[in-house]
Amino acid sequence: MRLKFIMILALAIITLNSCSVDDGNSTAIINYEALAIESVDLPQSFTFGETHDILVGFDYSNSCQNFAGFEVDSNLNERVITVVASVSNGNCTDEVVRREQNLRFLAASNGTYVFKFFTGFDENNEPTYLEYTIPVEE
């Protein structure tokens, strides 16, 4: 009985005193932020039922920003697209670096799509957009 107790106690101590896999040099993500879209390469039209690549260009303003994905808000055939960057708390250097990522888009409706690509804020702190209307062909 005493041996079982000692073994359970030893196992509990080992489990509760486990090592961290963090070597102390990693950086944690502290937040996410929207990046202004600088350029967009859209086709003249979409083909119904097909997936199309939309090349989106944006700038990192420092070395702690990394592409995290696109935020796409949909309302019927309108799409509002924002580039989202993760920002870590490492030793950042200020440098503007141009990046491009493909946004894959499935033309699942007939008619036209209206795309609004977030480009930042104006002097009244209102969001601004690059706006495109793209028809869908069958």
97-121 pLDDT, tens digit each: 899 999 999 999 999 999 999 999 9
As a whole number of angstroms, the distance between CA 13 and CA 81 comes to 51
120/34 Cα distance (integer angstroms):
8
**Domain 28-137 fold:** Immunoglobulin-like (2.60.40)
- Convert the pLDDT of each residue in 12-61 to its tens digit: 565 555 555 555 555 576 889 999 999 999 999 999 999 999 999 999 98
* Residue 7: pLDDT band with limits 50, 70, 90: low
Q: What is the DSSP string of 21-38?
A: S--S----EEEEEEE-EE
Per-residue confidence at 92, pLDDT binned at 50, 70, 90? confident
52 pairs with which residues across the strands?
Answer: 105
